[in-house]
Chain A
Amino acid sequence: MLALVAPSILFMALFFVAPLGLFLFRSVDNSEVPGWLPRTVAALSSWSGAGLPEEPAFRALAEDLAALSGSTALPLLGRRLNHDVPGFRTLITATGNRVDPARRGSMREQLIGIDPRWGEPLYWQTIRRERHALTWFYLLSALDLRYGAAGGLERAPVESAIFLDLLGRTLGISAVVTLICVLLGFPVAATMAGSSPARANALLILVLVPFWTSLLVRSTAWVILLQNQGVVNQALVGLGVLEKPVPLIFNRLGLYIAMVHVLLPFMVLPLYSVLKGIRPELMRAAASLGAAPWTAFLRVYVPQALPGLVAGASLVFVLALGYYITPALVGGPGDQMIGYFIAYFTNTAVNWGMASALGTILLLVVTLIYLALGRIVGLERLAVR
């Protein structure tokens, strides 16, 4: 029996869990520094971090950098350290290409002669701080935090602290989209649940059509429709609602329109399946017991609808959080969500530590929501027996 499940489990383990695990690990992976500066790291481990280290550390660095000279490791090390301190990249590459540990004399003098920045504590402190195989640097940066000069944690300078804003924006957009989906989806699901089977079926098909159409195609449709001369603007101007076309795309409004469209079926379908099971006799019973219709609705209908509402809303919210395609096609520069930056750091900035850190935080938020969902709705209801 277990043998039958084995191939699938193997696929999952090798091509899903392992990649994901490695990806998350990259958020703390710091193999570059200890790997490429072994002597320096060893020499700095006994250094207090105050002022400048002693001559042996300079010699160790000279030897390490000289060993890297001519290989691609040198610029990659420079790239890595540049994340900590802008400018480190040129410092590393220039020094590595010019340093000569075999030359007589103080290495300290030689290094500072090549670039005076080696006389500044900041650069040495950075190497010392990043000497371990693991680092908190990326995760801290993703939360707009960093190590202070004194060694404790401090907030990143306000002018470049974008990641908490990004997280907030992502959560905010997802929340608004979820809210709209609830407001629009509830009436639809309720109507479907209260209709005859034939009509409910017809309505269901209308909801399934967009559900089955791929996300990309739907987003594409909105890109076409929301243009300045697109159908929506044309209709609004033609009907006299607007004087001239309004920008509907590459902004937050267009993003909401497209995202709600894409996610609405995920709200309606679970909600409908729950509402379908609510017995109308209970509402009538409440009425016959003297409850006003509004009271009956609030105290009999809604509590029973709640699991469906919560399931649908959580699903919509979590899906919205991780969206990349729709915001990329329909949103403006200020509407990009976490997914965009994960892709940006992966592809363009080639800062895989940051991409992974952002991904880790996203995953954390998603997990927390699912755990909360599990507790509210009751995990058993979601399990397949």
Chain B
Amino acid sequence: MPKPSRLWIALVVALTAWTGIAHAQTKLVVGNAGGSSADAERKVFYGPFAAANKIQIQEESFNQELAKLRSQVETGNLIWDMVSTTAINVATGCEEGLLEKIDWSKYMDPKVFQDVGGLSECGVPYLFVSGGLAYDGNRIKEGPKTWADFWNVTKWPGKRGMLYRAEQTFEVALMADGVPPPKAMEVLAAPGGVDRALKKLEALKPNIHWWKNGAESITLLSSGEVAMAYAWNGRVASANKTNNLNLKMELGAGHVSGCQYWAIMKGSKNKELAIKFIQYAVSAQPQADFVRVISYGPANRDAYALLTDQEKATLPAKHMDKASLQLGKLYLGFWLANGDALLQRFVKFAAQ
């Protein structure tokens, strides 16, 4: 047999060294919703953190499918280390032993998160999303000021884009029915609340165009297919910036706002690293940078000080008295108990 040439040996050595390095790098696996949010997260959080700590951050697709967490934790076959998730899923996941219970006050100051509901046993808020009344400033000169205006199809003819989900849509319907936004959850949870919301939606129903994902809401507005829509502030601001649009949001009419949380999967071997990442991602400067990229609100109060007035324009800071907050015992308790049942009522309602 001919002796392997030096070139081959060099190649093999290089290959092993390269794969060795690739494997030696610690990897943090994060489940997120993809799309523009993930792009922003990558730019502001994952990229800098990975570079600074010489690790690799791998993203996986997680669209709030609890079953994915369940199957990993129950079989002990943990592939993900942490996820970006909603308040309801943090509560559910925490209770069902899918997420790590951590005393977060050891790693960060709980006070700076007070405005957005504080730290959770199993999750840390890292962005604050507001869903509210949006319309195209180029098509509508005299904009709507309240949700009752949104319902007024005589003065503002045209279709209305609404989120195809019971949660958020019911709260908005109650606001249109005259309920002060901070009380919307209370009224909804009380007997007759759901019926009242559905009755109000019934009145608007012939004009409703349901949207299921955020990008669709923006397309509906920008193409003129709907005159007004319920949309999320980050998407509206991003669309204005990227596509030079003039979409306006009237958060003073009332908005539904809540946080997206970082949570660590129970049993993750990279728990310490994940905690370090979360500490980084919720500190003031990265939070402010995140707002600059995607225009969702920061969860960390201190980040506001680092933003200019223009950057704060689409944030609800001035309208927090008009917020229906997606947090707290009432909110979590109500949707945890009634989520499935109300889904059915909602689907039925929308289908008729």
Contact = CB atoms under 8 A, between A and B. Distances in A.
B345 A228 contact: no
Contacts of A159: 198, 345, 348-349
Contacts of A250: 212, 216
A333 B350 contact: yes
B35 to A, nearest CB: 15
SS of A interface (majority) = helix
Given A86-B337, A228-B219, A349-B340, A161 B96 contact: no
Contacts of B333: 90
A223 to B, nearest CB: 12
B164 A350 contact: no
B338 interface: yes
A333 B212 contact: yes
A247 B345 CA distance: 27
Interface in B36-80: 63-68, 70
Interface stretch (A57-65, A75-83, A269-277, A305-313): A75-83
Interface in B195-228: 198, 210-212, 216, 219, 223, 225
Contacts of B351: 162, 165, 169, 334
B210 A333 contact: yes
Contacts of A90: 333, 336-337
Interface string A79-108: 100110011111001000000000000000
Contact of B96 (A75, A165, A334): A75
A72 interface: yes
Contact of A82 (B65, B216, B340, B350): B340
Interface residues on B, range: 35 or more
A89 B341 contact: no
Nearest to A165: B351
Contact of B350 (A75, A160, A334, A347): A334
A76 B348 contact: no
B143 interface: no
B205 to A, nearest CB: 12
Contacts of B164: 333
A332 interface: yes
A351 B336 contact: no
A348 interface: yes
Contacts of A228: 219, 223, 225
Contacts of B219: 228
B52 to A, nearest CB: 35
B337 A160 contact: no
A158 B64 CA distance: 29
Interface in A250-309: 250
B95 interface: yes
A79 B97 CA distance: 13
B347 interface: yes
A76 B93 CA distance: 11
Contacts of B336: 89-90
A304 B162 CA distance: 52
Given A76-B96, A250-B216, A334-B210, A160 B348 contact: yes
Contacts of B16: none
A169 B340 CA distance: 21
Given A165-B348, A333-B210, A350-B66, A160 B97 contact: no
Nearest to A331: B212
A346 interface: yes
B25 interface: no
A325 B108 CA distance: 43
A160 B343 CA distance: 8
Interface in A135-181: 158-162, 165, 169
A164 to B, nearest CB: 11
B337 A82 contact: yes
A83 B336 CA distance: 11
Contacts of A93: 95
A72 B97 CA distance: 6
B212 A347 contact: no
A229 B337 CA distance: 43
A245 to B, nearest CB: 8
Contact of B338 (A79, A87, A247, A333): A87
Given A87-B337, A333-B164, 16 more contacts: A72-B96, A79-B96, A83-B340, A86-B341, A159-B198, A159-B345, A159-B348, A161-B348, A165-B348, A228-B225, A333-B211, A334-B350, A346-B67, A347-B67, A349-B340, A350-B70
28 contacts: A71-B97, A76-B96, A82-B337, A82-B340, A83-B340, A86-B340, A87-B337, A87-B338, A89-B336, A89-B337, A90-B337, A159-B198, A159-B348, A159-B349, A161-B344, A228-B219, A247-B225, A250-B212, A333-B164, A333-B212, A333-B350, A334-B351, A347-B65, A347-B68, A348-B67, A349-B339, A349-B343, A350-B70
A-B CB proximity, top 8 nearest: A347-B65, A72-B97, A160-B344, A75-B95, A333-B164, A87-B337, A86-B341, A160-B345
